[in-house]
Structures are given as structure tokens and as C-alpha cells.
Structure 1
Amino acid sequence: MSFTQNFTAVGDSLWLSALVAIIPILYFFWALAIKKMKGYVAGFTTLLVALVLAVFAYQMPVATALMSATQGAVYGLLPIGWIIVTSVFLYNITVKTGQFNIIRSSVLSITEDRRIQALLVAFSFGAFLEGAAGFGAPVAISAALLVGLGFNPLTAAGLCLIANTAPVAFGAIGVPITAMEGPTGIAAMEISKMVGRQLPFLAVFIPFILVMIMVGFKKTLEVLPAIIVSGVSFAITQFLSSNFLGPELPDVLSALVSLFALALFMKVWQPKTIYRFASDDEVAAQEEKYSARKITLAWSPFIVLTAFISLWGIPVIKKALIGVYEGDNIVLQGVNVLGKWLTFYPEVPFLHNLVINGATNEPIPALYKLEILGAAGTAILLAAIVTKFLFNVKWSMFFHIFSSTVNEIKYPLLTICFVVGYSYVTNAAGMMTTLGLVLAKTGMLFPFFSPVLGWLGVFITGSDTSANVLFAKLQQVTAGSVGMDPVLALAANSSGGVTGKMISPQSIAVAAAAVGLVGRESELLRFTLKYSLWLLLAICIMTFLQSNVLSFMIP
């Protein structure tokens, strides 16, 4: 039996329907931030709330609602959960083999100042991973690295979530931007240019915010030169690459320029006062000096990781990995065969083509997306296998580390399955579109509220790409009706979305899993929430000004 989405299902009123649609969001905030439930409990109960509202308020058939939840849960495991498992696994290998001690020493050799270390790892290295892999890898790996360096787990996870704001729109080789070209017909290059005229303004300030969170305003000023080098080098590169090269490389190039610029700057400048943690004095005195060969070997898992996830992000290789390559390259043809064997798109029963889009009257396909070889987590697993040989790890130890890693993060994996399941239920029922239509009713103020759609979409789905696909057409049509440039509206959706990433339930679960904060997700949400709202407000004001006063900035 088919189900047609009704965006005014409650009392035939858009506003009443929106009040119902926002209940799961408010409940999740209450469950985590106020009630302080464990992540998987908050996720499970939020899913139940969404299912009840979808069935009784939006008149969605029970079987359809339940199967949409399973579609989300499967996506929560692959690719998202798979990335977390393999990322933490790779990190654990470096710890169990003692190689992380050398990594730690090499970072300390650049600077012992903890403020600069946060910029190098959370901001620059995290942005590089976002550009190459996206999803949960940047936060999982960079947060784990900071904890290994001696950072408090909550601080490490929170800093990495906030640092991830600057690169998200161009993450995973530009997929969030290119994903909007199909549904809107607007060239990805034009959207890339506009996003590149918004996010760099945030990127300049993110390093300052990170350090201020750590140490307060006064101690932040002590490292202001380093903060300026880090933020400005990133922002300039992001602007130039997004406007002249396209959406694929801004993160990778900006991160590398920022990383090397700051590392080189630290060779000629050091703060007058080195900021250390209370427990650092004794540890610092015991630091051993390592040769360049040993340092390179210790970092090799992340060098290999970078190579693999960069390969996985190249469009032509990605096609081969999922079995749709049609070129003449013999190697890629072989990969294509393997990709076909390891790629499955089974239809979701009681859901596939049975939900009718309320705006277009077209059936919505629903498939379990199982791209095993093409998943970024598989690239990270291959990096772990190469690391096993580089570090001469026995297979027995290799599998023991893997099983202990899975056991370590089993509850975060449950959390992710529940919250992604919840997002799929609200999308299929039409609840998200209801909220979007309410924001579209703001008329001449729509340029101000346009980024809120992206923020809301990323909070629900955990993905800037998903939020862009979800709201791109709505942004385009609404912008045209109120006299706003559609390119600006699409860019605002993506730029606003990046500010929602740090409070998304999926992101919170990933960060908690990476640093051992399972059960303390509520603390992490409270850590990031106010920064998410402040940064969203900045994007809202910027978009409003670009639409009305600074229109010369629109390409």
C-alpha cells in the first residue's frame, strides 16, 4: 500500500504539522542535554517518538515507518559505523604497538604548547581528513590523536567537533557541493564559488575559538600570531581553490597549506609562555628523542590512510569500487569486477517506491545501500592491514585488537543506528519537509533563515550532503519566489549545515566512541551547542547581508 506525504497532515495546517514535526528534535535535546540520558537510550527513545508521530500524526503505515527505520539503521552501520570501527581500530594498533609514543614525541618536537597542538591536529589535520574521507573519520581520528597526546577526552572531542566546522561543506572530495547540481541544475562550480565566499570568514575565526575554549581570552592572545597563520592561510587557500579549481580540493589544499604554514612558523616563533597541562611536567622530562626513520614509520599508518582515502575519493576510482566503471583501464576494470561482487542495493520491503513525494507526486526509491568495497571504512581497513605488516603485528594480535575495538564502541554503534533510523523516518513521513516549508514562509527574511534549513538538515541527518540533497530544490524555488539569488540560497544551505555538524547525534556518537566517552554524550552536546548556535547566527547574518547589501559577492 502506497503512502503519499502530506506536509499539512495535522489539522490540515502547516503550522500545527510543524509543531508536531519538531517534537522529536526537542525531545532529543531534552533527553541528552537536560535528562542526561546515555546516547543509545536517547537515540532509541527518540526513534520511538518519531515512529509514533509518523504513524498517528502523519498517517504513515506502520510497516512503512518501521522499514524506513531499518533503512536508516543499515546506513548507520555502513558506511558511518564502519568508518568509526576502522578508524578507532587503526588508532588502537598504533597504541598497542607503542608507535603512538613516537607520534606524540614528534608533535611535541614541533611545539610543547598545547594550544598549538590543538590547531595542528584538530583544525589542520582534521580538515585534511574531512576533505579526503568525510563522514566520521576526521573527528574520530583527530580526537583520538589528541587524547593520545594527553588532552582531556571531553575537550579533545569537543574541539575536534567544533574545528570540523570550517571544512565540512567541501568534505569527501566536494560531494556536499556536487550533490546539489543534480536536483537543481545549477553548476557545482557556481555553488562552490559562493560557499567559498562564506566559509573562509568562519575559517579565520575557528582557530581563535578553539584556543579560547581551551585557555580563555588572555592566554589566547599569547598565541595570536600562530592563530592568524593557521586561520588566514586556511581561509585564503579555501577561497582561491573553491573559486578557481572547484569543490573537490579546497579542504585538502587548505589543510595542507595551514598545517605546513603553522609548522614552519613554529620553527621561527614560539610563545613567550609555553602552555602545558598540569600533568605535563613529569611526562615531558621523560620524552625520548627519535630518529627521522622511526618517526616516519610511526606516522606511516596515517600516511597510508591518507593515500587510500584519497584514492577512494577520486570519482573514476569510486565508480570502479562500486562496479559502475565503463572505461578502458585494465586495472580499474579488474577493480570494477570486484566492486560488482561487493556492492548490493536490495529493495527495502514495504518502502521501495511506496512513498509518494508530496511535492512532485513521484515515488521515492528506497534501497539498502551496501557498497562494501567502495565504503571509506574499507579504505581505512586496508590501511590497517598495511600497518599490520609495517609494524610486524601478528595476525592473532591484529584480530584481538579488532574484536576489542568493536566491543569498545558497540554502544555508540547502536546510538548511530537509532538516530540515523530516526532521521530516515522523519524524512519518509514528510516531517522534515514540513519544517522546511515553515521556514520558507518567512518571505523577505528568508535570506536570514535560509542557513537554518541546512543547520536543521545536518542535525537530523548528520550529513551536509544529505541536508543539501534534502533541501536544495526547496531552497532554489523559495529563493526565486522572494527575489533571493538561488546560488546564494544553495550555498547558505551548505554553509549553515556545517554549523549543525557539531551537535548532530551521529557526530556526537562518533566523537564519544573515539575518546571513550560512551554514556557521556550529553556532556559533549552541552560542550558544542552554544558554539553551533553562535556560528549559525553568523552565517545567517552574512547570508542576509550578501542578499541585500553585499550582493557583489555573489558570482
Structure 2
Amino acid sequence: MILIALLAVLIPLFLLGILNMSARLGMTISAIIVALTGYLFWKIPIDVLFASILQGMHKTLPILWILFGALMLLNVLRKTGAIDSINAGFKSLSLDMRIQGILVAYLFGALIEGVSGFGTPAMVTAPLLIALGFTPLSAVVLALVANSTPAAFGAVGTPITVGLSNAAQEQGNHIFSQVSSTITSLDLLGGAFMPTILVLLMTLTLNKNKKSQRDWLEMIPWTLFIGVCYSGFAWLYSRVIGYEFVSIITPLTMLALTIVLLRFNFLLPKSTNKNPWRKLEEKKQIVQPQNLKLENLSLIKAWLPYGIVVLLLLISRTIPMVKTFLNNTINLSWDSILGFKEINSEWAILYSPGLILTIASLIALVVQVKSLKLFTPIAKDVFSTIMRTGLTLVVTLIMVQIFSNSGMNNGNHLSMPSYIAEILSRYLSGVWIFIAPFIGELGSFITGSTTVSNLTFASIQADIAYDSGLPIHAVLAGQVIGAAAGNMICVFNIVAVSGVVGLFGKEGEILRKTIIPALLYASLIAISTSLYLFFK
């Protein structure tokens, strides 16, 4: 039965990662196999399968709404020439793409994660990276890998507050602060290496230059400094301000600090000025909309839409009255699908980042070209683009929901996620402190969300920790960080970000490039947790 339960993991890995099949075909086959084996072997009733299919279809809509907003903003900024101004602004800080990648993917992406989460950061940062000269493939990979460390506290702490809510019912609400403090302690080792991993990806994995090893090694003092400072500030803010704002205040602090230190070339090799590194894999020509002829579009006007995105996300997530209004107005959530109370799907249209990104694109048109005439033709182009992504997302989410709802069966079986965790704990409980991050990562790979991975596995992890005599808060911290790392390899995140940059059919190649950093990060956290317990 363990092989049946693992099919939702093994089949996509085989079809996409080994056979290099497109996500549309590979995930369609995966969904069909998981549905058939769920019915035949797990005894999932037909009506539960049908409800799960409807749930997966409905859950696709909020993602497409975010994708629409992200593409609208991107295409508007291309049309108005704002992307060129933003590009020039980054190049005024440094022409070195290694530095630009850290600024955009790691630090700016962390800020978007802090206020929004749920896959939005990579959809925002990947197009910016392309504007700076990164190839679509490298931009997607970097954006996904960077969206890991901050995801533990994403969307104003949602992976903790909501993700650990089931575990908190058993352990008490104090578990929130305990786990969040432990996360930042563990990340002093694991998270500190993330900028170094990102530069390694740029110079080794994505670049075929024979000198790439030197290009990476010479940046290590700077990348380690950035990573240690980020992890250190996160550790401080989690204790002084609270976990909800760690991924908002920390990247803001680090953006300011990094920009200042760039002026002094602090810990940077001389090559970043004398011979800036800009050697990536051969660039493929991308057909972009023809820019309007605008003179001297200021950096403030160019960045204004992104500033509005951050501001509106922050207001909508932190002011209770505004949050309640947006969640309850035009709410198209679907509760108790086909009468099953456990099967629901949320879609609060006004609360979604999709609306905020669309509003930002409208404001960009008003401020930058003083006209809204371009909105309709751009929207038509965007709509045709997201339709290509929609089918892939639908079949992916159908498979996810069947897997998640598999506890509703006539065979008296545990749900597939619970069964996997139980079997693993039966044989690996003695080394569970090493396993916990990988379980969190597995959860995000399948469910596509740090929060949902935590909801699915946190209670199970807490029970295993108790039975194994391990500190519950340490095991749960490993779960949360692992779930955050799983964003790198989540199939529908890969599909969504690829759709934004127009990179179709390369999902398997992207997965192969992100899975190694994901496993490396989880391994660092496992080592960090062991050291934490040893010196505690």
C-alpha cells in the first residue's frame, strides 16, 4: 500500500523529472493514475473522487486570477517602458548579474512573500530577472529557489498561524511562538547559505563557462554575509516584533543595508566593477511587446506599481477591518462540495493578490502614459496566455485534492499523507529529527503550499515527536522550514511561473534544476536541528 500512497510523488517525478514530459501531459497521466488507484486500492468512493475533481477545478481559479494580475502588470510595464527604467536602476547599483539576482529574487522576492505568499513572489520576480538579461529558464529557477527561506513566515505568518492550527489544538497556542523562534535559530545555518546557493545556481548550473567555479567562489564572502545578516535579523525580529512580520521587516532591512553596502563594494570582488559577471547560458530571443516611446520615465514612476502592490498587500493583510471586508465581499468560495463538509475551496476575489496586481497595472497606465486605452488589448493577450496554463493547473490540483482527501474512504485506511508518515516513522523514528524537514518538503511538493503542507503534516509530526521523545517545537520547526523549501519543487508553482514568462514544456527541466537545492536546503536544516538539540 505504501507504493500506492507514494504514486502522487513518484509518477510526477518519473514523468517530468526523468522522461522530461511536459507538465500538461505528465500531470494528466498522474491524475488519472492516482484517481484509478485511489478508487481500486484505497476504496475512495466515486462521489468523493468527483467532489475532489470539482475542488481541484475550483482551486485553479484563484491561481489563474493571480496569474492574470501578474501578467497584466508585467505587460503594462513592458509597454510603458517602465521595465527599461527599472532595469537601468538595478544596473546603476551593479552591472553584475550575481548581485542583481540576489537583490531581485532573494530580497525583493522575500518582501513580496512576506506580504502575500501563495506563489506570488516568483511570478513577480521572474519577469524582472528576464528584464535584467536572465534567460527565462534561469529566471524561473532562481525565482523558485529564492522563494524558500522567507516562505516559513509568508503572508504575514500564515504558515505558522494557519498551518500549525491543528497542532496548536493539541499543544496550545504557545507552540506558535516556540516554533517561530526555533525556525529562526535553525535558519542561522540553513538559511545563511541561501544566497550562496543562488549564486552557485547562476554560475555553475546555469552557466557552461569553464571559469564558473571561480565566478562562484569569489562571491562567497559577500553571499555568506548577506545570508547571515538576513538570518540574524529574522532571529531578532521574531523575538522582538513577532513572527507575523519577520518576512516583511527583514527583507526591507536587508534591501536598505545591501544597497548602502554596494556603494562601498563591501566584501565584493574587484571583478564586480572592473568586469561585471554577465555570462549566462546562451540567450534566446524573446518576442516582447513594442515599447511606447517615452522619454525620461523616472525611477519613482517606474517602481510605483510595485510600491503600490506592497502597500496594498500590507494594508489588506494587517488591518483587521479591511481584511474582513475584502474576505466577505464578492466571496466565491465553495463550501461542502457535494455535501462533504471536509471538501472546500476558498476564493475571496477582492482579497486575492490578483486584484491588487491588476489595480497596480491600471495605476501604472494612468501614471506612466495617462491613458487606459491599452488595458483591454493587453488583457486579451494575457487571457489567451493563461488559458495555456489553466489546463495544466487543473489536472495538477485534481491529483493533489484526491491525494489530500484520500482519508475519506470505505477501506478504513488512513489518508495517503498520514499513511506515508506513519510507515516512515515506524522505521525511522530514531532519526526523525533528520526526516522532519523532508516530510514538510514532500507536503509542499504535492500540495503546492507551505501552509497546506503544515496543515496536513504538523499534527502527525507532533505525535511522532512525542512518541520518539523529541522536542515537539524542534520537529515542527523542521516541518515548517521543509515545507517552505518545497516551494522550489512544487509542480503547480513551476507551471504558474513558467506561464508568466511564456516558458512552456520545460517544467521537467526546471524540476531537475530545483530539486537539488531543495534537498540540499532540507539537509542543512536537518544538520542544523541536530546541532540545535546538541547544544540546547
TM-score normalised over the length of structure 1: 0.85
Of 439, 458, 471 in structure 2, the residue corresponding to residue 485 of structure 1 is: 471
Aligned to 1:263: 259
Q: What amino acid does structure 1 have at the position aligned with 2:59?
A: Y
SS at match of 2:178: helix
Q: What amino acid does structure 1 have at the position aligned with 2:303?
A: W
Moved more, 439-448 or 455-464: 439-448
How far off is 1:393 after superposition? 5.5
Query: What is the CA–CA distance in structure 2 between the aligned matches of 1:349 and 1:243, rounded to whole Å?
Result: 41
How far off is 1:207 after superposition? 0.8
Q: What amino acid does structure 2 have at the position aligned with 1:32?
A: L
Of 139, 145, 157 in structure 1, the residue corresponding to residue 140 of structure 2 is: 157
Query: What is the CA–CA distance in structure 2 between the aligned matches of 1:231 and 1:219, rounded to whole Å?
Result: 18
Query: What is the CA–CA distance in structure 1 between the aligned matches of 2:134 and 2:333, rounded to whole Å?
Result: 42
Quickly say closer, same or farther: Cα 1:75–1:289, change in 2 above 3 A.
closer
Query: What is the CA–CA distance in structure 1 between the aligned matches of 2:499 and 2:86, rounded to whole Å?
Result: 21
Quickly say closer, same or farther: Cα 1:71–1:289, change in 2 above 3 A.
closer
Quickly say closer, same or farther: Cα 1:109–1:290, change in 2 above 3 A.
farther
Of 22, 40, 48 in structure 2, the residue corresponding to residue 38 of structure 1 is: 22
Q: What amino acid does structure 2 have at the position aligned with 1:447?
A: I
Query: What is the CA–CA distance in structure 1 between the aligned matches of 2:243 and 2:333, rounded to whole Å?
Result: 28
Moved more, 125-134 or 185-194: 185-194
Q: In the alignment, is the contact (CA less than 8 A) between 2:453 and 2:483 conserved in 1?
A: yes
How far off is 1:468 after superposition? 0.6
Aligned to 1:426: 403
How far off is 1:89 after superposition? 1.4
How far off is 1:63 after superposition? 2.2
Query: What is the CA–CA distance in structure 2 between the aligned matches of 1:501 and 1:177, rounded to whole Å?
Result: 16
- 1:61-85 per-position Cα deviation (integer Å, ceiling 9, x unaligned): 122112212202211221x222122
How far off is 1:120 after superposition? 0.5
Q: What amino acid does structure 1 have at the position aligned with 2:108?
A: F
Aligned to 2:193: 205
Aligned to 2:390: 413
Of 213, 222, 227 in structure 2, the residue corresponding to residue 226 of structure 1 is: 222
Matches for 1:129-140 after TM superposition, within 5 Å: 129-140=112-123
Query: What is the CA–CA distance in structure 2 between the aligned matches of 1:320 and 1:526, rounded to whole Å?
Result: 42
Q: In the alignment, is the contact (CA less than 8 A) between 1:50 and 1:425 conserved in 2?
A: yes
Aligned to 1:312: 316
Query: What is the CA–CA distance in structure 2 between the aligned matches of 1:346 and 1:295, rounded to whole Å?
Result: 43
Query: What is the CA–CA distance in structure 2 between the aligned matches of 1:238 and 1:398, rounded to whole Å?
Result: 40
Matches for 1:349-360 after TM superposition, within 5 Å: 349-350=337-338, 352-353=340-341
Query: What is the CA–CA distance in structure 2 between the aligned matches of 1:349 and 1:504, rounded to whole Å?
Result: 25
Query: What is the CA–CA distance in structure 1 between the aligned matches of 2:294 and 2:380, rounded to whole Å?
Result: 33
Of 63, 73, 77 in structure 2, the residue corresponding to residue 94 of structure 1 is: 77
Query: What is the CA–CA distance in structure 2 between the aligned matches of 1:96 and 1:289, rounded to whole Å?
Result: 10
Of 53, 76, 81 in structure 1, the residue corresponding to residue 37 of structure 2 is: 53
SS at match of 1:492: helix
Query: What is the CA–CA distance in structure 2 between the aligned matches of 1:500 and 1:120, rounded to whole Å?
Result: 22
Aligned to 1:237: 233
How far off is 1:348 after superposition? 4.4
5+ residue gaps, structure 2, are 204-211, 284-292, 407-414
TM-score normalised over the length of structure 2: 0.88
Moved more, 23-32 or 173-182: 173-182
**Structure 1 segments (4+ residues) deviating >6 Å:** 288-291
Q: In the alignment, is the contact (CA less than 8 A) between 2:103 and 2:255 conserved in 1?
A: yes
Q: In the alignment, is the contact (CA less than 8 A) between 1:131 and 1:170 conserved in 2?
A: yes
Query: What is the CA–CA distance in structure 1 between the aligned matches of 2:23 and 2:370, rounded to whole Å?
Result: 34
Q: In the alignment, is the contact (CA less than 8 A) between 2:145 and 2:488 conserved in 1?
A: yes
Of 355, 361, 367 in structure 2, the residue corresponding to residue 384 of structure 1 is: 361
What is the aligned-residue identity percentage?
A: 27
Query: What is the CA–CA distance in structure 1 between the aligned matches of 2:417 and 2:481, rounded to whole Å?
Result: 19
How far off is 1:174 after superposition? 0.7
Quickly say closer, same or farther: Cα 1:140–1:207, change in 2 above 3 A.
same
Of 237, 247, 252 in structure 2, the residue corresponding to residue 251 of structure 1 is: 247
Matched, 1:191 2:179: yes
How far off is 1:502 after superposition? 0.5
Query: What is the CA–CA distance in structure 2 between the aligned matches of 1:217 and 1:315, rounded to whole Å?
Result: 48
Matched, 1:69 2:71: no
How far off is 1:123 after superposition? 0.7
Number of residue pairs matched?
497
How far off is 1:514 after superposition? 2.2
Of 128, 131, 151 in structure 2, the residue corresponding to residue 148 of structure 1 is: 131
